[in-house]
């Protein structure tokens, strides 16, 4: 079977272990290791109570190099003061010792409940076990993708292969959601591997732009997490990207993989049964386009209407009305899929409510808002808001 | 029985009718009429897709005078273009004709589904019936308070009596919630009556300040409505407020009544089972105090934790971390009731999770965040987020 996991690009191995941090017997420690030191870049949450692993990770990735990533789920090591930072460093040191790398070439991450200290005995035992199982196999890739999950109901992976001249390259990734998702510069945890040869100086801006248009355009609950991390490692084993056009091709593939992963996060948002795509067109500025799309995607009233399959489009107008983006109300047009529902300040004539309800009941509901105020456009993905979201979040901690 | 309704102050009568706009046989048209033309003030939503009655109401109240208020529930007359504005004017004209007042001394309001035209035949018939039943009785007051409800589970009224020298005055009010509640300058619908004698020039700033600290500090779902209106009518029949100190006393009573009504809106928020009070202290600026309190009160993760009675306080820190208010993370202290749970960047030592869980299970959950950054403070009230909120909002329209 073809390997379409995070270990698909040349030079990567993964391993995972069930260390008892999350729930007994569930994989909760993952290690991703490269044969060689890779060019690397990462973007992190802008939440000011960011986790200890984010603080340490920022420090480590500054060199533009990484050889390994270590992650645990079940406890996020956030709001844990100096002891938390020490714990994150200890995780990196243990991986470095075991694989013969530098501590500062290891990126740490933790995800789960905020405000608890890591059970370090379990974590270190888990790291040792995961390293003992390191393998470039598809199974090892899937185990890693599983070990990083929390309330997710399924693993999230993407893989693209492309060719430049005669050289074949691979870009792969895996990520987790699925609550506290409104990334600001990145999302919960997403890891990307590739075998292209590219410098960190080239990789860094590429990842920034890509995350901005993919992971930063999704929202489950409009709550920016304290642990968001997107990291990419490029082993270079398939060959260097020699031309600007080659880098452009790689950038496009990277974006495809990130879009695929972002969509998977939303489709598996906590309690989600549907994806809502909010497109804004003809905004005055790109910031306006983003703000308008996000306001609608963040509205619990819009999200519950989508959940109920109810074409209660007045709530779209309400959410837009509460923003301060530039537009004249009478120039705004709202479409559900391709059907105009609101135009010139009033409901479109001869609305067929049954047809609208049928669109609202689909698995993917597309809403377009034309602001008639300029040329900028943007798009935000979100999911519906269901009783299941409440059930998950009313009982998550205890 | 003492009259503690909107008709308690001298000079006010109310009437209501079941016109079939909402559900068969439920009161859905209310009329409040003063004997004389009153000093009046009102604050309205800042939502830019505000309803037609808000547009007409702003125009009418500019004179500082009102003699009547007419409200229907079941249809909000929002996003209905010029036809909607004509309909709102027609409602005022009908009341004016029937009671012998000026059309511009009538304040209109409509609440319910957005994006539908009013069934004007039913509305006008309802107005005629409500006027035929006008009475200063407590029953009439309660009927009016009932006629303005939508998804509310109970009516919301408040009444305070006070004395200045030998003169007795009364301030009364009623309001509705209970979804799309995150008032920005006002809330859904709140009506206040009083028999104090006060000019509109004095009443206007008083109402503005009062609404800012009461109705503008509550949130059910952080969705600012298109119909928010708070209006006050002062008949003057009990006697003029002659001194600055008398006006100050009145202002305090007005604030008590508005706080009482605001609390009732939150306690009856859609699907609410508890009230969460978020206090922020020692913020650098008043705007920071408000922003921090609101960010926490708006978080679906905090609200679901409160619903589950789960002391998952990490979510409070997460919500604060996502704002850009001024503070140093290590100077922030978070308290649940009087128990410190987070301080100096880490969990407080010796946390008693059972005690915390017991506080979280109360009907009123108080959270205090000390930012250690200045002297400003603020407070926002919200409710928990329950499965019932989803049930109500997934099926509201159809």
Q: The sheet that has A275-283: what strands, in order across it?
A: A218-219, A376-383, A275-283, A364-370, A333-336, A339-343, A346-347
Phi, psi of A167 (to 5 degrees): -90, 130
d(CA A380, CA A269): 14
Report phi then psi at B27, rounded to 5.
-60, 130
CA distance A303 to B50: 21
Q: Which residues of A touch B76 (CB under 8 A)?
A: 314
Residue pair A197/A236 in contact (Cβ under 8 Å)? The answer is yes
Say yes or no: ipTM exceeds 0.85: no
Sequence-ordered list of residues with C-beta below 8 angstroms from that of A23, at least 6 positions apart, any chain? A74
Q: How far is CA A144 from CA A70, A254, A373, B179, B242, in A?
A: 10, 20, 46, 43, 76
- A346 vs B79: CB contact, 8 Å cut-off? yes
pLDDT at B322: 87
Closest residue to B180, CB basis, from A79, A80, A301: A301
Query: Tens of pLDDT along chain B (398 residues)?
Result: 789 999 999 999 999 999 999 887 899 999 999 999 999 999 998 888 889 999 999 999 999 999 999 999 999 999 899 999 999 999 999 999 999 999 999 999 999 888 889 999 999 999 999 999 999 999 999 999 999 998 889 999 999 999 999 999 999 999 988 777 776 544 568 889 998 889 988 898 888 888 888 887 877 787 877 888 888 999 999 999 989 999 999 999 998 898 898 898 899 988 999 999 999 999 999 999 999 999 999 999 999 999 999 888 889 998 999 899 999 999 999 999 999 999 998 899 888 989 999 999 999 999 999 999 999 999 999 999 999 988 888 876 65
B-chain residues near A88 (CB < 8 A) = none
Q: How far is A195 from chain B (nearest CA, A)?
A: 35
Size of interface A-B (CB pairs under 8 A): 220
- Output the pLDDT for position B59: 97
d(CA B273, CA B264): 12
**Residues in A 264-283 with any Cβ partner in B closer than 8 A:** none
Global pTM value: 0.84
Smallest Cα distance from A317 to chain B, Å:
7
**Structure confidence at residue A185 (pLDDT):** 46
Chain A interface mutation, best of B84, B178, B312, highest count of A Cβ atoms under 10 Å = B312
pLDDT (0 to 100) of residue A186: 47
Q: Active site residue: B150, B151, B187, B214, which one?
A: B187
Does A78 contact B396 at a Cβ distance shorter than 8 Å?
no
Are B84 and A318 inside 8 Å of each other by CB?
no
Q: Which helix (H) or strand (E) holds A339?
A: strand A339-343
Residues 6+ apart with CB under 8 A from A94: A70, A124, A127, A128
Instruction: Name the one residue in this structure whose structure tokens are 């049928």.
Output: A358
Is there a catalytic annotation at residue B187?
yes
d(CA B135, CA A149): 63
Q: Hey, is the C-beta of B179 within 8 angstroms of any chain A C-beta?
A: yes
- The answer to whether the CB atoms of A310 and B398 lie below 8 A apart is yes
Chain B hits for A308, CB-CB cut-off 8 Å, are 393-396, 398
Q: Give pLDDT < 50 ranges for chain A.
A: 185-186
Which of B301, B305, B312 is opposite residue A221, by nearest beta carbon? B301
CA distance A311 to chain B (A): 8
pLDDT value of residue A217: 80
Supply the pLDDT for residue B205.
Answer: 87
Which residues in B lie closer than 8 A to residue A385 (C-beta atoms)?
390
Active site residues of A: 187
What does the mean pLDDT of chain A come to? 91
Tokens of A12: 């990567």
* End-to-end C-alpha distance for chain A, whole angstroms: 41
Which residue from B47, B48, B317 is facing A79, i.e. has the nearest CB? B317
- In the stretch 204-243 of chain B, residues with CB closer than 8 A to chain A read 221-226
Domains of chain A (ranges; CATH) run 12-267 (3.60.70.12), 275-394 (3.10.20.340)
Closest chain B CA to residue A392: B304
Does the beta-carbon distance from A301 to B179 stay under 8 Å?
yes
Q: Do B300 and A223 touch (CB under 8 A)?
A: yes
């Amino acid at each position: 079977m073809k390997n379409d996991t995070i270990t698909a690009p040349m030079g990567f191995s993964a391993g995972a272990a069930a260390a008892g941090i999350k729930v007994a017997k569930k994989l909760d420690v993952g290690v991703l290791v490269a044969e060689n030191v890779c060019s690397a870049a990462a973007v992190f949450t802008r939440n000011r109570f960011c986790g200890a692993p984010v603080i340490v990770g920022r420090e480590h990735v500054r060199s533009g190099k990484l050889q390994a990533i270590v992650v645990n789920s079940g406890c996020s090591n956030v709001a844990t003061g100096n002891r938390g930072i020490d714990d994150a460093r200890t995780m990196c040191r243990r991986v470095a010792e075991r694989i013969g790398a530098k501590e500062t070439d290891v990126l740490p991450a933790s995800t789960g409940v905020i405000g608890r200290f890591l059970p370090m005995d379990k974590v270190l035992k888990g790291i040792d076990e995961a390293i003992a199982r390191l393998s470039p196999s598809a199974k090892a890739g899937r185990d890693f993708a599983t070990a990083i999950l929390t309330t997710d109901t399924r693993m999230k992976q993407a893989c693209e292969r492309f060719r430049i001249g005669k050289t074949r390259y691979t870009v792969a990734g895996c990520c987790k959601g699925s609550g506290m998702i409104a990334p600001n510069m990145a999302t919960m945890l997403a890891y990307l591997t590739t075998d292209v040869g590219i410098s960190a100086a080239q990789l860094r801006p590429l990842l920034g732009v890509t995350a901005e248009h993919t992971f930063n355009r999704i929202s489950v609950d409009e709550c920016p997490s304290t642990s968001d991390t997107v990291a990419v490692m490029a082993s270079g084993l398939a060959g260097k990207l020699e031309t600007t056009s080659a880098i452009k091709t790689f950038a496009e593939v990277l974006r495809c993989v990130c879009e695929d992963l972002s969509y998977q996060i939303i489709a598996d948002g906590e309690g989600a049964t549907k994806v809502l795509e909010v497109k804004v067109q003809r905004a005055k500025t790109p910031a306006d386009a983003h703000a308008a799309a996000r306001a609608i995607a963040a509205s619990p009233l819009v999200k519950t209407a989508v959940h109920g399959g109810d074409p209660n489009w007045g709530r779209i107008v309400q959410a837009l009305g509460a923003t301060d983006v530039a537009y004249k109300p009478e120039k705004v047009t709202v479409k559900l899929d391709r059907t105009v529902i609101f135009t010139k300040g009033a409901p479109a004539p001869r609305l067929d409510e049954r047809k609208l309800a049928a669109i609202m009941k689909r698995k993917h509901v597309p809403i377009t808002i034309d602001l008639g105020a300029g040329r900028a456009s943007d798009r935000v993905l979100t999911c519906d808001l269901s009783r299941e979201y409440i059930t998950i979040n009313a009982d998550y901690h205890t």
